[in-house]
């Protein structure tokens, strides 16, 4: 959940910056939007969402890995 919140926050900051600069921000050609799509795809290739969430939460909470 922390990664999704951070990704959404960064996307919002980017969109706000584009709007403040007077540029359009609704195109799919933005790098941030492409990174968001690519990040969503890695969930499929690198394992289930539950496993990734556990790994991330363990790192955030400072828990040792089960290697």
DSSP assignment of 11-66, as one string?
A: HHHHHHHHHHTT-----TT-HHHHHHHHHHHHHHHT--HHHHHHHHHHHHHTPPP-
Q: Which pair of tokens denotes residue 34?
A: 């492409």
Give the model's pLDDT for residue 46.
Answer: 56
**Domain total in the chain:** 1
**pTM above the 0.85 mark?**
no
Give a yes or no: residue 67 inside a domain.
no
Per-residue pLDDT of the chain (67 residues; tens, 9 = 90+): 888 888 888 888 988 998 899 987 777 666 777 777 777 666 555 567 777 788 888 888 888 766 5
Residue 30's φ and ψ, nearest 5 degrees, are -65, 140
In a domain, 66, yes or no: no
Whether 44 maps to a domain, the answer reads yes
Residues in CB range of 2: below 8 A, 6 or more apart: 56, 57, 60
Domain that holds residue 38: 2-61
């Amino acid at each position: 959940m922390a990664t999704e919140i951070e990704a959404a926050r960064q996307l919002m900051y980017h969109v706000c910056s584009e709007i403040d600069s007077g540029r359009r921000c609704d195109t799919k050609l933005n790098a941030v939007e492409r990174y968001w799509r690519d990040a969503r795809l890695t969930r499929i290739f690198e394992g289930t969402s539950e496993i990734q969430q556990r790994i991330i939460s363990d790192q955030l909470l400072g828990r040792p890995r089960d290697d």
